[in-house]
């Protein structure tokens, strides 16, 4: 039997589990030589490929390597590197980009509303700010005319949100309530993030509290809107905790492939809805209710099957997005069914509702994959299918033109010609919306084909949609890939909590930076 010391980093992750650590918050592990010197550190002139996708959680770490005059924490002076990202994380980053954005979308729901001169407001807390602004608006960063974005600060007094499952929902409800009371605001989008955010943590009582909090606050806003004679739509972007268990009983903290609810409360009439639909149908339905034109670019269709004639257009509409609230008939492991949800129970009983596909091809993702907040909000706002970066990258790998991508070949050429190292860093997972281990393997194959002599891999772990202690298994697979290629080493491993942030928690990013550059972390000997 092959000695486990052949695979030191996966063994080190297993040892960390034994000490009570978890993938998401795993403290940095660093491979060292017999003299205890860290291996594979990022040095001047090296090439880095950050192969993650999505991007909003990747900006901060990328800035620390590429931003001139970076001041968020001390960085090593005079550390020029050639930095390449899989997709464009932000227009301001000084990086090569392998798969540039397909361009912003026009004629989104928000575009049509703005074009009519109507005021709109988007309200959530910082955890989901990018989703109801950038993604909902078709990848446009700047607010539209008469669009207000209200972002409630995310709490900084807790380490993980199972300590405070209600998060900042009181403030979201207060801000949304004020907009509901303002007759000049015609379209209001509110995202309650609790179910999704807390659902990624293995803490059942906390999740039940999060679900109940969302239900309770949704009820508050629905009643306020009804008193203002507003139309109301209640839906979600994807599922999460309605399938909290794997078939073997293990906990699944990831997203799901479940449909999501779609409920309509019309101020005057009870409508009849189609029996099923997709998230792309939300925008055309809202425009239908508001009496606004549906652009030809929206391939979704209104979900209203029958309506009284004539049906006067609603002058105002509230869209509630219960982030992560999926539908599942099976009650085993269904934490939404287990929670106290009298408001949603009543809405589903008394008002027209249907089920919307929110995963796989319905939201531009590979067939059979789970949904996510990025794709969900993008499709709710766009009213048409937008094929994801992941799907485009997967297709590029199959076609083999991935290996000819000019951004990758340039990074590899610079490393090879200057006798410098190539570093690959990113999430190590099959199921993460932030990336795939298959993308890492494709880059490793490419490095081998193109004659890279020094290849170092820096892995980020995060158990979202993964079996318990899956990180060690994935690191073992990467180490085995290195062995089979005769190229590369996994030289550092860290939990994504410290690497992938979007809330200016710079102390976390600094921990990752110091691991990558200075080799700070728990030393892992190359051999036992």
Write the class of the CATH domain 4-100+391-525: alpha beta
Which residues have C-beta within 8 Å of that of residue 347, sequence separation ≥ 6?
222, 234, 263, 265, 353
Instruction: Please give the CATH number for the structural domain made up of 109-385.
Output: 3.40.720.10
- Distance between CA atoms of residues 322 and 303, nearest Å: 19
Residue 255: pLDDT above 80? yes
Tokens of 153: 């600060």
Rounded to two decimals, what is the model's pTM?
Answer: 0.73
CA 193 to chain centre: 12
For the chain, give every domain's residue range: 4-100+391-525, 109-385
- Among 270, 209, 211, 259, smallest CA distance to 236 is for 259
> Which pLDDT score, from 0 to 100, does residue 470 have?
85
Q: Are 363 and 272 a contacting pair, CB within 8 Å?
A: no
For 480-501, what is the mean pLDDT?
Answer: 96
Which residues have C-beta within 8 Å of that of residue 71, sequence separation ≥ 6?
none
Beta bridge partners of 189: 122, 319
> Which pLDDT score, from 0 to 100, does residue 467 have?
66
> Which pLDDT score, from 0 to 100, does residue 490 have?
98
Handedness of CA 409, 410, 411, 414 (dihedral sign): positive
Determine which of 285-294, 325-334, 460-469, 516-525 has the lowest per-residue pLDDT on average. Answer: 460-469
For 347-376, what is the mean pLDDT?
Answer: 94
For 99-112, what is the mean pLDDT?
Answer: 92
Query: Helix or strand or coil: residue 133?
Result: helix
Q: Where does the pLDDT of residue 525 fall: very low under 50, low under 70, confident under 90, or very high at 90 and above?
A: very high
> Burial letters for 400-411: b for 16+ Cβ neighbours within 10 Å, e otherwise?
eebbebebbeeb
Share of the chain above pLDDT 70, in %: 97
- Distance between CA atoms of residues 440 and 457, nearest Å: 9
For 7, 81, 161, 212, 378, the CA distances from 284, given in Å and listed in that order, are 53, 47, 35, 30, 14
> Which pLDDT score, from 0 to 100, does residue 463 have?
64
Give the model confidence (pLDDT) of 435-477 as tens digits. Answer: 889 999 999 999 999 999 999 999 999 866 566 678 899 999 9
DSSP characters for 182-207?
-TTEEEEEEEE-HHHHHHTSS-HHHH
What 68-75 contacts at long range (C-beta under 8 Å, 24+ apart), as own/partner pairs, is 68/94, 72/504, 72/506, 72/509, 72/510, 73/506, 73/507, 73/509, 73/510, 73/513, 75/513, 75/517
Q: Where does the pLDDT of residue 372 fall: very low under 50, low under 70, confident under 90, or very high at 90 and above?
A: very high
Mean residue pLDDT across the chain: 93
Q: Which H or E run includes 121?
A: strand 119-125
Residue 53: pLDDT above 70? yes
Q: Where does the pLDDT of residue 2 fall: very low under 50, low under 70, confident under 90, or very high at 90 and above?
A: very low
> Which pLDDT score, from 0 to 100, does residue 157 have?
87
For 322-348, what is the mean pLDDT?
Answer: 97
Give the model confidence (pLDDT) of 384-432 as tens digits. Answer: 999 888 889 999 999 999 999 999 999 999 999 889 999 999 999 876 7
Q: Where does the pLDDT of residue 134 fall: very low under 50, low under 70, confident under 90, or very high at 90 and above?
A: very high
Higher pLDDT, 405 or 55: 405
Residue 75: pLDDT above 90? yes
Q: Are 437 and 393 a contacting pair, CB within 8 Å?
A: no
Residue 89: pLDDT above 80? yes
For 163-170, what is the mean pLDDT?
Answer: 96
> Which pLDDT score, from 0 to 100, does residue 468 have?
67
For 47, 437, 521, the CA distances from 456, given in Å and listed in that order, are 10, 15, 16
For 78-90, what is the mean pLDDT?
Answer: 93
For 126-139, what is the mean pLDDT?
Answer: 94
Q: What is the dihedral of CA 513, 517, 520, 523, to 10 degrees?
A: 130
- Among 479, 481, 512, smallest CA distance to 495 is for 512
> Which pLDDT score, from 0 to 100, does residue 3 have?
44
For 181-203, what is the mean pLDDT?
Answer: 96
Query: Helix or strand or coil: residue 444?
Result: helix
Residue 528: pLDDT above 80? no
């Amino acid at each position: 039997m092959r000695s486990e010391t052949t695979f030191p980093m996966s063994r080190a992750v297993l040892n960390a589990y034994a000490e009570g650590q978890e993938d998401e918050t795993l403290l940095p592990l660093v491979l060292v030589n017999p003299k205890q010197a860290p291996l594979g550190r990022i040095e001047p002139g090296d090439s880095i490929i950050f192969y993650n996708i999505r991007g909003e959680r990747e900006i901060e770490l990328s800035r620390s390597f590429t931003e001139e005059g970076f001041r968020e924490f001390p960085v090593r002076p005079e550390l020029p590197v050639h930095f390449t990202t899989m997709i464009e994380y932000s227009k301001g980053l000084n990086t090569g980009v392998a798969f540039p954005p397909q361009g912003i979308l026009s004629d989104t729901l928000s575009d049509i509303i703005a074009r009519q001169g109507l005021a709109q407001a988007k309200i959530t807390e910082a955890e989901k700010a990018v989703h109801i602004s950038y993604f909902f608006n078709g990848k446009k960063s700047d607010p539209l005319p008469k669009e207000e974005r209200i972002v409630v600060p995310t709490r900084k007094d807790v380490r993980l949100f199972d300590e405070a499952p209600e998060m900042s929902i009181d403030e979201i409800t207060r801000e949304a309530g004020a907009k509901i009371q303002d007759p000049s605001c015609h379209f209001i989008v509110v995202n309650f993030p609790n179910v999704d955010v807390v659902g990624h943590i293995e803490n059942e009582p906390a999740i039940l509290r999060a679900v109940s909090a969302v239900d309770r606050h949704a009820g508050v806003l629905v009643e306020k809107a009804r008193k203002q004679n507003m139309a109301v739509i209640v839906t979600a972007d994807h599922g999460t905790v309605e399938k909290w268990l794997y078939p073997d009983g293990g906990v699944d903290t990831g997203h799901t492939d479940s449909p999501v609810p779609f409920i309509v409360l019309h101020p005057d009439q009870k409508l009849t809805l189609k029996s099923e639909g997709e998230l792309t149908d939300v925008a055309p339905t809202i425009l239908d209710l508001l009496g606004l034109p549906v652009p030809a670019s929206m391939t979704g269709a209104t979900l209203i099957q029958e309506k009284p004639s004539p049906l006067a257009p609603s002058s105002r509409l509230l869209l509630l997005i219960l982030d992560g609230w999926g539908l599942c008939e099976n009650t085993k492991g269904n934490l939404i069914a287990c929670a106290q949800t009298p408001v949603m129970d009543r809405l589903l009983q008394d008002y027209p509702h249907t089920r919307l596909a929110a995963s796989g091809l319905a939201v531009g993702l590979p067939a059979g994959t789970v949904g996510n907040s990025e794709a969900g909000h993008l499709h709710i706002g766009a009213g048409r299918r937008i094929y994801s970066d992941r799907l485009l990258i997967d297709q590029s790998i199959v076609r083999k033109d991935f290996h000819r991508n000019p951004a990758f070949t340039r990074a590899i050429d610079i490393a090879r010609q200057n006798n410098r190292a190539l570093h690959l860093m990113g999430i190590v997972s099959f199921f993460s919306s932030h990336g795939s281990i298959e993308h890492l393997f494709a880059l490793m194959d490419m490095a081998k084909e193109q004659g890279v002599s020094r290849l170092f891999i820096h892995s980020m772990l995060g158990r979202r949609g993964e079996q318990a202690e899956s990180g060690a298994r994935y690191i073992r697979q990467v180490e085995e890939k290195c062995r089979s290629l005769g190229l590369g080493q996994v030289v550092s491993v860290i939990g994504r909590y410290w690497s992938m942030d979007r809330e200016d928690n710079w102390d976390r990013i600094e921990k990752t930076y110091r691991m990558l550059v200075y080799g700070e972390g728990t030393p892992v000997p190359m051999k036992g």
